[in-house]
Amino acid sequence: MTKQKPTNFILKYYQQIEDGSVLVGKYIEKIYKYLVAGLEKKDFFFDQKKASAAIEWIETHTFHTEGDLATQPFVLELWEKALLSAMFGIVDADGKRQFREVVLIVARKNGKSLLAAAIARYIWMTEGFGTKIFTIAPKLEQANIIYNNVWMMTLLDPEYKEAKELTNIRDMHNKKVHDDSMLPKHRVTDLYVAGSNSTVQKIAFSAKRSDGFNPSLCICDEIASWEGESGLKQYEVMKSGMGARAEAILLSCTTSGYANDSIYDELLKRCSRFLLGDSGEKKLLPFMYMIDDPEKWNDINELRKSNPNLGVSISVDFMLEEIAIAEGSLSKKAEFITKYCNLKQNSSLAWLDTETVKKCFGKQLDIDDFRSSYAVAGIDLSQTTDLTAAVVIIEKDEELYVLSKAWLPSEKIDDAIARDGLPYKQYIANGWLELSGENFVDYHDCYEWFRMLVEEYEILPIMVGYDRYSAQYLIQDMETYGFKTDDVYQGDNLWGVLQEMEGLFKDGKVHMGDNDLIKVHMLNSAIKMSTERGRGRLVKIRPTMHIDLVAALADAFCVRQKHYNEIGDQLQNRG
- The predicted-structure confidence for 258-275, as pLDDT tens digits, reads as follows 877 889 988 998 999 999
φ, ψ dihedrals at 437, nearest 5°: 65, -175
Task: Give the CATH number for residue 475.
Answer: 3.30.420.240
Residue type, 224: A
327 with 377, same domain: the answer is: no
pLDDT tens per residue across span 494-511? 899 999 999 999 999 999
Q: Does position 248 have pLDDT exceeding 90, yes or no?
A: yes
For residues 34 and 297, is the Cβ–Cβ distance under 8 A?
A: no
Residue type, 457: Y
152 with 183, same domain: the answer is: yes
372 with 311, same domain: the answer is: no
CA-to-CA distance for 573 and 461, rounded, in angstroms?
12
H/E stretch holding 346: strand 346-350
Q: Does position 18 have pLDDT exceeding 60, yes or no?
A: yes
63 with 107, same domain: the answer is: yes
Of 297, 325, 350, the residue at which a domain comes to its end is 350
Using DSSP, state whether 189 is helix, strand or coil. Answer: coil
pLDDT tens per residue across span 369-410? 999 999 999 999 865 456 899 999 999 999 999 999 999 998
Instruction: With respect to residue 193, please indicate whether it lies within any of the assigned structural domains.
Output: yes
Instruction: With respect to residue 157, please indicate whether it lies within any of the assigned structural domains.
Output: yes
330 with 402, same domain: the answer is: no
231 with 185, same domain: the answer is: yes
* Four-CA torsion 365, 371, 376, 377, nearest 10 degrees: 60
H/E stretch holding 114: helix 112-126
Instruction: With respect to residue 220, please indicate whether it lies within any of the assigned structural domains.
Output: yes
- Nearest Cα neighbor of 122 from 150, 97, 142, 83 is 150
pLDDT at 505: 95
For residues 166 and 178, is the Cβ–Cβ distance under 8 A?
A: yes
Instruction: With respect to residue 112, please indicate whether it lies within any of the assigned structural domains.
Output: yes
Displacement of CA 8 from its chain's centroid (Å): 26
445 with 528, same domain: the answer is: yes
CA-to-CA distance for 297 and 276, rounded, in angstroms?
23
374 with 337, same domain: the answer is: no
344 with 374, same domain: the answer is: no
309 with 297, same domain: the answer is: yes
511 bridge partner residues: 401
Of 294, 320, 350, the residue at which a domain comes to its end is 350
* The total number of structural domains that make up the chain: 2
Instruction: With respect to residue 151, please indicate whether it lies within any of the assigned structural domains.
Output: yes
pLDDT tens per residue across span 172-194? 767 776 677 889 999 989 999 99
Query: What number of other Cβ atoms are within 10 A of residue 248's Cβ?
Result: 22
CA-to-CA distance for 336 and 84, rounded, in angstroms?
28
pLDDT at 279: 80
Task: Give the CATH number for residue 15.
Answer: 3.40.50.300
H/E stretch holding 389: strand 388-396
For residues 517 and 425, is the Cβ–Cβ distance under 8 A?
A: no
For residues 11 and 50, is the Cβ–Cβ distance under 8 A?
A: no
Instruction: With respect to residue 484, please indicate whether it lies within any of the assigned structural domains.
Output: yes
Question: Among 162-171, 242-251, 281-290, 408-417, which is the least confidently predicted range?
Answer: 162-171
Q: What is the CA radius of gyration of the chain?
A: 28
CA-to-CA distance for 497 and 477, rounded, in angstroms?
27
60 with 123, same domain: the answer is: yes
Residue 157: pLDDT band with limits 50, 70, 90: very high
Exposure class string for 188-211: b at 16+ Cβ within 10 A, else e: eebbbbeebebbbbbbebeeeeee
pLDDT at 542: 83
* Four-CA torsion 530, 533, 535, 540, nearest 10 degrees: -30
Structural domain boundaries enclosing 267: 9-350
Q: Does position 531 have pLDDT exceeding 60, yes or no?
A: yes
Task: Give the C-alpha distances (Å, rounded to integers) separating 515 from 430, 452, 510, 512.
Answer: 8, 20, 13, 6
Instruction: With respect to residue 1, please indicate whether it lies within any of the assigned structural domains.
Output: no
The 3-class secondary structure across 269-299, one letter per residue, is: HHHHHHHHCCCCCCCEEEEECCCCCHHHCCC
CA-to-CA distance for 485 and 17, rounded, in angstroms?
49
Q: Which residues have a Cβ under 8 Å from the Cβ of 524 and sit 6 or more positions away?
A: 540, 541, 542, 545, 546, 547, 550
Of 320, 350, 380, the residue at which a domain comes to its end is 350
The string of DSSP codes covering 492-553 is: GGGHHHHHHHHHHHHTT-EE-TT-HHHHHHHHTEEEEEETTTTEEEEEESSTT---HHHHHH
195 with 292, same domain: the answer is: yes
pLDDT tens per residue across span 343-374? 887 777 889 988 899 999 999 999 999 999 99
Question: Among 112-126, 217-231, 427-441, 530-544, which is the least confidently predicted range?
Answer: 530-544
Q: Does position 1 have pLDDT exceeding 60, yes or no?
A: no
C-alpha torsion sign, points 59, 151, 140, 190: negative
Q: What percent of the chain has pLDDT over 70?
A: 95
Instruction: With respect to residue 201, please indicate whether it lies within any of the assigned structural domains.
Output: yes
pLDDT at 344: 83
